[in-house]
Amino acid sequence: MDRDELAGWLRLALTPQVGRGAARRLLAAFGLPGRIFDADAAALRDSVSQAQVQALQAEPPGLTDQVEATWQWLAQGEDRRVLTLANADYPQALLHTEDPPLLVFAMGQALCAPGPLIWPEGIAIVGSRNPTPQGALNARRFARSFAQAGWCVVSGMALGIDAAAHEGALEAGTADHGHTPPRLLTLAVVGTGLDRVYPPQHAALAGRIAERGLVLSEYLLGTPPLAENFPRRNRILSALARGTLVVEAAMQSGSLITARLAAEQGREVFAIPGSIHAPQSRGCHALIKQGVKLVETAQDVLDELPLAAAPTPGPTPDPSPPPAVTAGAPDDPLLQALGHDPVTLDALCARTGLDTASVLARLLALELEGSVARLPGGLYQRIARA
Amino acid sequence: MDRDELAGWLRLALTPQVGRGAARRLLAAFGLPGRIFDADAAALRDSVSQAQVQALQAEPPGLTDQVEATWQWLAQGEDRRVLTLANADYPQALLHTEDPPLLVFAMGQALCAPGPLIWPEGIAIVGSRNPTPQGALNARRFARSFAQAGWCVVSGMALGIDAAAHEGALEAGTADHGHTPPRLLTLAVVGTGLDRVYPPQHAALAGRIAERGLVLSEYLLGTPPLAENFPRRNRILSALARGTLVVEAAMQSGSLITARLAAEQGREVFAIPGSIHAPQSRGCHALIKQGVKLVETAQDVLDELPLAAAPTPGPTPDPSPPPAVTAGAPDDPLLQALGHDPVTLDALCARTGLDTASVLARLLALELEGSVARLPGGLYQRIARA
């Protein structure tokens, strides 16, 4: 992405009165942000209100500084990227949610590797910032077991359960030699700009997550910790995981919001029970009363969430078509046959009626074009791009 | 019931090869036992097999002694009765089960009152004979709340959870003046003859139950504690209650049998969750996974079980369980470090940074204060108290 393209995306993100929904309508109508800002008022008026047209035609305050800061931040290393809705590496799991962010800021060693970024299969672990000692230990042990079983642990890098979950996932990496490139053990979805670590005492943890995973944020650089951003952040956290485990949670806590969002996104939700006298277990018990699965062991969770690399694809059907346009001829029969779930070569041959050699040749072309990604376990997956 | 009628019922119960099913068929065909034993073989043959006819025509061994012993037992006071299937006071709740016993032996002051015996609305509380201290306290507190709300607590008078449940129900009676006749606070359904108290250390408890409730058994006098009788006893226990609460239960325990029987009898089943590391909670968690209702408070249970009649007003409805108030400053660092799960001394030293001697001294103080319990295996656990 060159500086102009980055500036276009940041301008779209910063334009007052134009929310993510309006921005996505504009992108659908005009393509990249540059074209939106080149368009005349009459054309824009087809997609947005008059007030929004006026907002789009004025340069938002602070844009120059934001572009400069972001450009400088990107220049600091290969381990940092801004993934736009138009980027092939933008996480599919977010594309399929109701309200995907325009931009995802990402930081981690995995971004230095060549080739497309393979987003891992995730299990989210969330919970109280003030857990019991046993709760924190449970989070760490479950996370380690998930990571050892090949899953990526998604959490929010907050104090308490979140930190314990990241730590547990990273522990699984100590015996994890010979993976090339190393698989992503953990994703931290944070609620501030990636140039700010919050809470500050997690600076070292953030560094270790970036070595064996990714730190992610939808917030522009410089965004401070704002209370209203954390619940919004949770929808990304839950979307990046196939299931969410609540380890300990008080009533009316952010973890219960995450659990609700996960359920709304069609994800599995799990909760660990505890003493009826521990306030930290009340939220988990409330979830279980509502039908959330009680789990006692990491295996209880894994039994409900087979890895997609296994022959059966994930249990969660895509609730809505991706809002982005797919590259390549959309009516390409192989793309049609791919659908949006990981698929084996055999299944593709069966679905298209083509022989293996023909399918492989066409898959390679689509891969080079960026429309298809090759996943571990001999699976192929379509990539949705703007 | 005169001595001849009693002898007829005991003879029917003692006749080898004639089980409860055959006995009920005979009673349905002939009426009272006397008529069965007066009937000729041809008439009996319509209801039972030839072998059973022969068994019915011979006096079973030990009958004379059993009749004498039972007659003597009844003569000891108005507070004891043998309720037969033909008796108006036989509990309706048992009549409607699949396999009602022919006889129910009952003992308690309530039997001295004139007029028909009013069977109370019951909630069963069952659980481990080796509960955690907190589990026993939970049983007692839930039982007290149920009894205060007008319910009768049904249990099995075993060690552990059962005894705590009876005790809790009896506690509700201490402030329960002026009820005429006094309502039944608790029913103990035991697995031995009523002339034997098992376990022997519950002799005093049995006496107190008989003052404010009933001790019940389907087993003839003199029946010793036999392992096979206890699971059978559970079906009576569950049938006498509208719902069954499992407080703590290991896997493969008798409490899980009771829970299954209760569900099969169309009763509600409830379970209290606990630490995923406590073996005594595994059975409860298994039940919850199967769809049994997780409950945190007595009110959770009462909400699902409205009393058929207006509740007998108790003295002071106890909002239960009361918030976990620990003795000692709630911000005591050792109490914080304890959490709500069983913990080793080493873990406490590690969590607090204190040396072993300091932790031990403080633990002893908390133990004497009643805030901490010492568990087998060198574990300590915080106790939440009313």
Phi, psi of A329 (to 5 degrees): -65, 120
Nearest residue, CB atoms, A273 vs list B273, B321, B384? B273
* B110 inside 8 A of chain A by CB: no
Which positions in chain A touch B342 (Cβ < 8 Å)? none
Q: How far is A269 from chain B (nearest CA, A)?
A: 14
A306's CB contacts (< 8 A; 6+ apart) are A312, A314
Average pLDDT of the residues in A84-101: 89
pLDDT at position B313 is 42
* B381 inside 8 A of chain A by CB: no
Tokens in use for B210?
């008989």
User: What's the farthest any 2 CA atoms get from each other in chain A?
Assistant: 63
Question: Does A289 sit within 8 Å of B294, measured CB to CB?
Answer: yes
Q: What is the residue whose two structure tokens read 């334009």?
A: A15
Nearest residue, CB atoms, B285 vs list A138, A282, A294? A294
Question: Does A297 sit within 8 Å of B339, measured CB to CB?
Answer: no
Nearest residue, CB atoms, A275 vs list B289, B340, B347? B340
- The residues with which A344 forms a beta bridge, in sequence order, are A379
Task: Give yes or no for residue A314 having a pLDDT over 50.
Answer: no
pLDDT at position B117 is 92
Which positions in chain A touch B281 (Cβ < 8 Å)? 273
Task: Compute the distance between CA of residue A357 and CA of residue B283 in angstroms, rounded to an integer.
Answer: 55
For the four alpha carbons of B14, B18, B20 and B25, in that order, the dihedral sign comes to negative
User: Sorting pLDDT into bands at 50, 70 and 90, what band is A52?
Assistant: very high
pLDDT at position A50 is 96
Question: Does B289 sit within 8 Å of A293, measured CB to CB?
Answer: yes
* B313 inside 8 A of chain A by CB: no
Question: Does B288 sit within 8 Å of A294, measured CB to CB?
Answer: yes
Q: What is the pLDDT along chain B (386 residues), one digit of tens a residue?
A: 899 999 999 999 999 999 999 999 999 888 889 999 999 999 999 999 999 999 999 999 999 999 999 999 999 999 999 999 989 899 989 988 888 999 999 999 999 998 889 999 999 999 999 999 999 999 999 999 999 999 999 999 999 999 999 999 999 987 666 655 678 999 999 999 999 999 999 999 999 999 999 999 999 999 999 999 988 899 999 999 999 999 999 999 999 999 999 999 999 999 999 999 999 999 999 999 999 999 999 999 999 998 765 444 444 444 444 333 344 566 788 888 887 788 888 889 988 888 887 888 788 778 777 788 877 777 888 887 65
Question: Does B351 sit within 8 Å of A276, measured CB to CB?
Answer: no
pLDDT at position B179 is 59
Instruction: Yes or no: say if A165 and A125 are a contact pair by the CB < 8 Å rule.
Output: yes
Question: Does B339 sit within 8 Å of A134, measured CB to CB?
Answer: yes
* A276 inside 8 A of chain B by CB: yes
pLDDT at position A359 is 80
Please provide the average confidence, as pLDDT, over all residues in chain A.
88
* A272 inside 8 A of chain B by CB: yes
User: Sorting pLDDT into bands at 50, 70 and 90, what band is A364?
Assistant: low
Q: Around Cβ B225, how many Cβ atoms within 10 Å?
A: 16
Instruction: Yes or no: say if A133 and B351 are a contact pair by the CB < 8 Å rule.
Output: yes
A63 exposure class (CB count in 10 Å sphere: 0-12, 13-18, 19+):
middle
* B1 inside 8 A of chain A by CB: no
Which of B340, B359, B371 would you mutate first to test chain A, the one with the most A CBs within 10 A?
A: B340
* B384 inside 8 A of chain A by CB: yes
Question: Does A275 sit within 8 Å of B347, measured CB to CB?
Answer: no
A122's CB contacts (< 8 A; 6+ apart) are A93, A151, A152, A153, A154, A187, A240, A241, A242
Q: How far is B156 from chain A (nearest CA, A)?
A: 24
pLDDT at position A88 is 85
Question: Does A273 sit within 8 Å of B281, measured CB to CB?
Answer: yes
Task: Tell me the pTM.
Answer: 0.81
Q: How far is B187 from chain A (nearest CA, A)?
A: 26
Which positions in chain A touch B371 (Cβ < 8 Å)? none
Highest mean pLDDT: which of A133-137, A378-382, B26-30, B212-216? B212-216
Q: How far is A161 from chain B (nearest CA, A)?
A: 15
User: Sorting pLDDT into bands at 50, 70 and 90, what band is A175?
Assistant: low
Question: Does B337 sit within 8 Å of A275, measured CB to CB?
Answer: no
Chain B residue nearest residue A138, CA to CA: B276
Nearest residue, CB atoms, B384 vs list A133, A272, A277? A277
Q: Characterise A370 by phi-psi region: left (phi > 0), alpha (psi -120 to 50), beta (else).
A: left
Average pLDDT of the residues in A274-299: 96
CB interface of A with B, residues 278-297, below 8 Å: 278, 281-282, 285, 288-289, 293-294, 296-297
Instruction: Yes or no: say if B109 and B210 are a contact pair by the CB < 8 Å rule.
Output: yes
Chain A residue nearest residue B383, CA to CA: A277
pLDDT at position A326 is 38
For the four alpha carbons of A305, A309, A313 and A318, in that order, the dihedral sign comes to positive
Question: Does A272 sit within 8 Å of B274, measured CB to CB?
Answer: no
The residue that leads in pLDDT, A373 or A205, is A205
* A177 inside 8 A of chain B by CB: no
- DSSP per position, A90-149: S-HHHHTSSS--SEEEEESGGGGSSS---PPPEEEEE--SS--HHHHHHHHHHHHHHHHT
Tokens in use for B173?
């009676």
Q: What is the β-pairing status of strands A379-382 and A343-344?
A: antiparallel
User: Sorting pLDDT into bands at 50, 70 and 90, what band is A32?
Assistant: confident
Q: What is the strand order of the sheet B103-107 is part of?
A: B80-84, B103-107, B213-217, B186-189, B152-155, B122-126, B243-246, B268-271, B293-294
Look at residues A133, A135, A157, A167 and name the one whose alpha carbon lies nearest to residue A254.
Answer: A157
ipTM of this predicted complex? 0.81
B115's CB contacts (< 8 A; 6+ apart) are none
Look at residues B127, B82, B78 and name the one whose alpha carbon lies nearest to residue B101.
Answer: B82
Question: Does A297 sit within 8 Å of B276, measured CB to CB?
Answer: yes
Question: Does A285 sit within 8 Å of B340, measured CB to CB?
Answer: no
Chain A residue nearest residue B343, CA to CA: A134
Chain B residue nearest residue A275, CA to CA: B274
Lowest mean pLDDT among A37-46, A90-99, A151-160: A90-99
Question: Does B275 sit within 8 Å of A275, measured CB to CB?
Answer: yes
Q: How far is A290 from chain B (nearest CA, A)?
A: 10
Look at residues B78, B61, B82, B110 and name the one whose alpha carbon lies nearest to residue B194.
Answer: B82
The 10s digit of each residue's pLDDT in A221-251 is: 999 999 999 888 999 999 999 999 999 999 9
B158's CB contacts (< 8 A; 6+ apart) are B129, B199
pLDDT at position B364 is 76
Question: Does B294 sit within 8 Å of A294, measured CB to CB?
Answer: yes
Look at residues B171, B231, B224 and name the one whose alpha carbon lies nearest to residue B200.
Answer: B224
Q: How far is B332 from chain A (nearest CA, A)?
A: 14
Which of B292, B341, B379 would you mutate first to test chain A, the one with the most A CBs within 10 A?
A: B341
pLDDT at position B299 is 97
Instruction: Yes or no: say if B185 and B173 are a contact pair by the CB < 8 Å rule.
Output: yes
User: Sorting pLDDT into bands at 50, 70 and 90, what band is A310?
Assistant: very low
A–B CB contacts, 8 A cutoff, strictly below: 72
Question: Does A274 sit within 8 Å of B273, measured CB to CB?
Answer: yes
Nearest residue, CB atoms, A294 vs list B289, B296, B384? B289
